[in-house]
Amino acid sequence: MSTRAYRRLLQIGFPIEVLNRDLKLIFISNLIGSFGDGLYAYLLPYYMKETLKASSVEIGILYALTSLTAALTLLLAGSLADKYDRKKIMIAGWLAWVPAPIIFSIARDWIQMLPGMILWGVWLGGPTSTAYIVTSADKNRLTLTFTVISSSWSFGYIFSPAIGGYMAGKIGMQAVFYIAFILYALAGLVLAFMRSQHAPAQQKTSRGPSTIELLKDRKLISMSAFFASIMFVMMMFRPLVPQFLADAYHYGDFEIGVLGSIAFFGSAVLGIILGKAGDKWGKEYALAASMLACSISLTIMLVTGNLYALTAAFFLAGASYITWSLMSAIIGPQAPEPIRAKWISIPQTISMFASIIAPYVGGVLYSISLDFPFVISISATAALALFASFRKF
């Protein structure tokens, strides 16, 4: 990040100063990688259907495989990050993504997409980056640190889907995939300039508790169940929102895309606000506020299709994208340093498995009534907000 860009961020009130040198590199890496990801991620289902002639069932299989891979690699990442250099594990996570867009570009049917979707699902950075951030960050500003780093993903996604769609129409989808390939590689390269970080030396001479033993920890499992509930609700309604806008209010791709960009902008802004609030008044209250914002945004969306009202609703809906970072800010400090990444990987894995099942449940409810999954989500997010505000983590 140039000195001029850094000063500009400070001028607009963006708290980049909360990040030390290594965390700024993570921020930059995520910004570059998410921009590359956003170039094609929004268009990929459409590309599969129109270009590769994949059916809805085949597309569902591909995305389910990606989610399953992510859930399975979280545990692996947690174990590796406690034994080896966490910096290298994060770099490996980006390197696993590098071939994915190239595979997508040369695939001629949905079967040939399989290797790319598996690689795209590899998520070594989940518990690894959480452990690295907790160990490296200022403990008094930990919530803000997580939400600032999370905002890098949101900033990357604000404009990239529109740019990717424009480029696909002008120079072809293959070119979009190639650019994403380059940006993934750059994201990994940026992390090479970070300092190395290892778990304490005693971990190298002891295997520590096994995953099975950690699953017997009542506190850890209680937290895991709570966070899995949050992710289940988030993923039950989120994939259905674009379809609802089209079915209920007859919005087209452009309007839906603009509202999606507003949601990502909202997640960046609300992330900073809730991050500061979490450090000042408590992480649980920040999490409760994010759940309440989701509930309010869904209520507005069901009540009216007015574009101006939906703009406000989708800005608030951005809170749904910062729940993972708020969860990480809560979980990370409670994990014992020698097994921090493995400990963190337990609730993250359980939450990820919950998010795999959730879209199917949401789809079934949506087939019964367009409003049904959103009505349930409004009640569920309000209840989770109330529960989080009274729970001490």
Residue 174: give the domain boundaries: 16-195
Rounded mean pLDDT, 311-340: 85
**Of 165, 195, 225, at which residue does a domain stop?**
195
Show which of 126, 161, 195 is a domain's final residue: 195
Domain identity same for 260 and 355: yes
Q: Give the per-residue pLDDT at 264.
A: 86
Residues 241 and 376 in one domain: yes
Same domain, 223 and 190: no
SS (H, E, C) the chain: CCHHHHHHHHHCCCCHHHCCHHHHHHHHHHHHHHHHHHHHHCCHHHHHHHCCCCCHHHHHHHHHHHHHHHHHHHHHHHHHHHHCCHHHHHHHHHHHHCHHHHHHHHCCCCHHHHHHHHHHHCCCHHHHHHHHHHHHCCHHHHHHHHHHHHHHHHHHHHHHHHHHHHHHHHHCHHHHHHHHHHHHHHHHHHHCCCCCCCCCHHHHHCCCCCHHHHCCCHHHHHHHHHHHHHHHHHHHHHHHHHHHHHHHHCCCHHHHHHHHHHHHHHHHHHHHHHHHHHHHHCHHHHHHHHHHHHHHHHHHHHHCCCHHHHHHHHHHHHHHHCHHHHHHHHHHHHCCHHHHHHHHHHHHHHHHHHHHHHHHHHHHHHHHCCCHHHHHHHHHHHHHHHHHHHCCC
Asked, for residue 339, whether it belongs to a domain, the answer is yes
325 vs 308: which has the higher pLDDT: 308
> Are 226 and 126 within one domain?
no
Q: Higher pLDDT residue, 126 or 289?
A: 289
Give me the percent of the chain exceeding a pLDDT of 90.
32
For residues 62 and 176, state if they share a domain: yes
Give the domain CATH number at 76.
Answer: 1.20.1250.20
Q: What is the pLDDT of residue 12?
A: 45
pLDDT bin (cut points 50, 70, 90) of residue 209 is low
Single pTM value for the model:
0.81
Domain assignment present for 91: yes
One domain, residues 231 and 375:
yes
Average pLDDT over residues 195-201: 83
Determine the pLDDT at residue 4. Answer: 54
Same domain, 253 and 280: yes
Choice between 40 and 337, residue whose per-residue pLDDT is larger: 40
188 and 219 in a single domain? The answer is: no
Q: What is the predicted pLDDT for the residue at 6? A: 45
Instruction: Give the pLDDT mean for 82-101.
Output: 92
- What would the mean pLDDT of 270-293 be, rounded to a whole number? 89
Q: What is the pLDDT of residue 8?
A: 52
Q: pLDDT tens digits, residue range 104-125?
A: 999 999 999 999 999 998 988 8
Question: Of 207-221, 291-305, 344-358, where does mean pLDDT reach its minimum?
Answer: 207-221
- pLDDT score, position 207: 59
Per-residue pLDDT band for 47 (boundaries 50, 70, 90) equals confident
Domain count across the chain: 2
Q: What is the pLDDT of residues 214-242, one digit of tens each?
A: 767 777 888 889 989 998 999 888 888 88
> Domain end: 162, 195, 228, which one?
195
Average pLDDT of span 290-308? 94
pLDDT, residue 241, reads 86
Looking at the structure, do residues 174 and 236 belong to the same domain, yes or no?
A: no
Q: Report yes or no on 103 lying in a domain.
A: yes
Share the mean pLDDT of the chain. 85
Q: Is residue 93 part of a domain?
A: yes
Answer whether residue 4 is part of any domain: no
- 172 and 313, same domain (yes or no): no
Highest mean pLDDT among 95-109, 123-137, 313-327: 95-109
Over residues 62-76, the mean pLDDT reads 87
On whether both 168 and 299 belong to a single domain, the answer is: no
Residue 269 and residue 178 share a domain: no
pLDDT at position 38 over 70: yes
